[in-house]
Amino acid sequence: MDEMTVKALAKINIGLDVTGVREDGYHLVRMIMQTIHMYDLVTVSKSAEAGITMKSNAKYLPTNDDNLCVKAAKLLAEEFDLKDGTQIRLSKRIPVAAGMAGGSSDAAAVLYGMNQIHGLGLSKKELMERGVRIGADVPYCLMRGTALAEGIGEKLTRLPGLPKCYVLVGKPGINVSTKLAYENLHLDQIQSHPDIDGMISDIENQDLHSLTAKMQNVFEPGIISQYPVIQEIKDLMEANGALKAMMSGSGPTVFGIFDDRSKLREAAEALRDSHLAKTVFATQIYNKK
């Protein structure tokens, strides 16, 4: 096999708590992650040209060592002293700086693809151990499905799949860096923390309504105070049938959870008509079998 194309799936956080800070400055989190059927396409192929080369349809993205895809490829190329070069082609669909782990998922796809085309023989667990050196979300993006993430996001516990539901994604025309999100988060001022353990029980009991009632993201107040459009998108989704709408990760993307496909379609149409969101995408969850 000389070439492989991998779907790099986006994620949402249906619950996100920050519980402390390590001595090295990394924040400790407790969150429930969920992959959805929204993805970039990453093609990894052997190349006669030595080294790592990358091309993308998104001209604004770096294609050098600043890109997580290139970092992932170099990590394996150097460890295994690969003689063949590697070419990466990225077809970008997941919005960037959106709190949906697009870059981390792309890097995970590169690790998976290189393992296959170069016959490295690494297990998923071994790929995940390498992935954390690229970014805290990369191991989860290799695991996929529904998971509890702890530590800095790298300690993963697989959970049962969510009850069947539909997801509406709305991203306004702004970007929010993770750095900015943490700068606006003051641990001693967090007034309410999500009930992560209660959410896990709801997932085990397949109780979608109880689960969505508990959805919470501690980043929201600080980010919404700077970007009120996020609250407007949340309100519109809930007014049009979402059981709950919430900001994903460090934002600014909002997602709404629906128990009915027709409500999802109507809400998507209302969101497009409102022009509040630059990206509107109706989809469903991805449950790892």
Active site residues: 11, 137
Strand order in the sheet with 166-171: 244-247, 254-258, 166-171, 279-284
DSSP 152: T
Measured CA to CA in angstroms, residue 106 lies from 3, 84, 85, 91, 194 at distances of 16, 21, 19, 10, 29
**215's tokens:** 């959805």
In the block, tokens 């979402």 appear at: 242
Angle separating helix axes 229-239 and 261-274, nearest 10 degrees: 140
**Residue 180 φ/ψ, nearest 5 degrees:** -65, -40
Long-range pairs for 233-236: beta carbons < 8 A, 24 or more residues apart:
233/170, 233/172, 233/271, 233/276, 233/277, 236/267, 236/270, 236/271, 236/274, 236/276
Would you mind telling me the total number of residues written for the chain in this entry?
Answer: 289
Cα separation, 161 vs 131, in Å, equals 23
Report which secondary-structure segment, H or E, holds 250: none
Tokens of 197: 């353990």
- Which structure tokens are listed for 119? 């016959």
User: Cis ω on the peptide bond leading into residue 252 (within 30° of 0)?
Assistant: yes
DSSP H/E element including 188: none
